[in-house]
Structure 1
Amino acid sequence: MLIARTDKTVPITVFARTSAAPDVAFRIVAPIDLSRVFLADRLFPGVAGVEGQTDTWDHAGVSRRPRFTDGSQVTESLTEYVDGHGFAYELTGFTNTLATLALGVRGEFSFLPDGGGTTIRWTYEFKPRPGRRLVLAGPFKPLWQRYMQAALNRMVAVVEEHTAH
């Protein structure tokens, strides 16, 4: 387990709403094409593709290696998967600048009923390297939160596109 109860982490959470039911939104977001929603901006690379995934992304224990547009990569492992409700994953082995800031990240998506639709809650919980917590919690946090929100908004657009048919 990457993060223990006693670790001092830096969590960043974003929310978005969709008109789709929670189970529908979940089934679209969980296996989403990462390169479609994680686009490069002036500060962060996008996802260029995914390598090494040998099984479907629908149960704990599956892993893969997202490759970024700057040539770096990370190992992503699915740690929890509750069909129709949420999933969690860990990112470790960053080969870009994040390697100097964090030992890893625990990500979690929750799909919560919201009237006739869904509120999607996405949290990135950084486990900082020694001496790096203030950087992550300070100047880095609002920049990463903006990047996450843009990616989540693109995920919702994909959900809405799929449910419009």
Structure 2
Amino acid sequence: MKITGRVITSTILFGISGVCCLFAQTTDDQYKTSRMDKLATPHTEEFVVNAPIEKVFDFIVAEDVLPKILKKYFIIPAVTGSKIHQGDWLTPGSYRTVFFANGDTLKEELTNFDRPTYFAYKVSEFSSFQRRFASHGTGQWWFTANGDKTEVKWTYTFYAKSRFKRFFLKPFINHDFRTYMKRSIKLIKEQIENGK
């Protein structure tokens, strides 16, 4: 079979264009990731619960737990309940509407679930003041057994709509939301350890 110079040239050009497209896609993905990282404002809390890992995990991930542990603090209202719209809340892809005492709502979607060591979720569609500053947020929980105790790590990350808006969002996360998380942790420990 005779291979012409035109065929060879076309093959080379096709290969180069494919590599360029792949490089462009990779670069674009890296840019998006880098941009999101710059807009992220995370906060992490770590604590120990005097109870077995399965008990701690199941309590925190339970469908009805939010009103028990997310109480009002300053401008952050208490959670009053939730309504599942898809799934059973223990399957990634499940999502629900979370209701607050002042009438605000948000969408919460379960993104990862690996009992009893890890689960994660995404929050979006805020009706509260957060919608002015954040596009969405993520929550991540890690659980590690340590004898008859459980070490827990909780990271909450808000993603600002712009670097300018992150300037205003960051103080809220580092002070108000930080305290909100700490108060929730206290309630988690009390209810698991003492049955309050």
CA-based RMSD of the aligned residues comes to 1.8
Q: CA deviation at 1:161?
A: 3.6
Counterpart in the other structure of 1:147: 180
Structure 2 gap ranges (5+): 1-31
Match of 1:81, SS?
strand
Matches of 2:65 and 2:127, distance apart in 1: 21
Q: Which has the higher contact order (CA 8 A, sep 6+)?
A: 1
Matches of 1:62 and 1:139, distance apart in 2: 28
Does the Cα contact within 8 Å between 1:73 and 1:95 map onto a contact in 2?
Answer: yes
By percentage of residues, which structure has more helix? 2
Q: CA deviation at 1:139?
A: 4.7
Matched, 1:39 2:39: no
Structure showing greater radius of gyration is 2
Which residue, 1, 5, 14 being the options, matches 2:45?
14
Aligned residues: 160
Does the Cα contact within 8 Å between 2:43 and 2:173 map onto a contact in 1?
Answer: no
Which residue, 82, 86, 107 being the options, matches 1:50?
82
Match of 1:52, SS?
strand
Distance 1:52 1:139, change over 3 A: closer
Counterpart in the other structure of 2:113: 81
Q: CA deviation at 1:158?
A: 2.1
Matches of 2:109 and 2:142, distance apart in 1: 17
Q: CA deviation at 1:115?
A: 4.1
Matches of 1:124 and 1:12, distance apart in 2: 5
TM-score by length of 1: 0.88
Structure 1 gap ranges (5+): none
Matches of 2:183 and 2:85, distance apart in 1: 25
1:13-162 residue pairs with structure 2 within 5 A? 13-31=44-62, 32-130=64-162, 131-161=164-194
Does the Cα contact within 8 Å between 2:111 and 2:121 map onto a contact in 1?
Answer: yes
Match of 2:156, SS?
strand
Match of 1:44, SS?
coil
Matches of 2:121 and 2:189, distance apart in 1: 20
Counterpart in the other structure of 2:10: none
Match of 2:33, SS?
coil
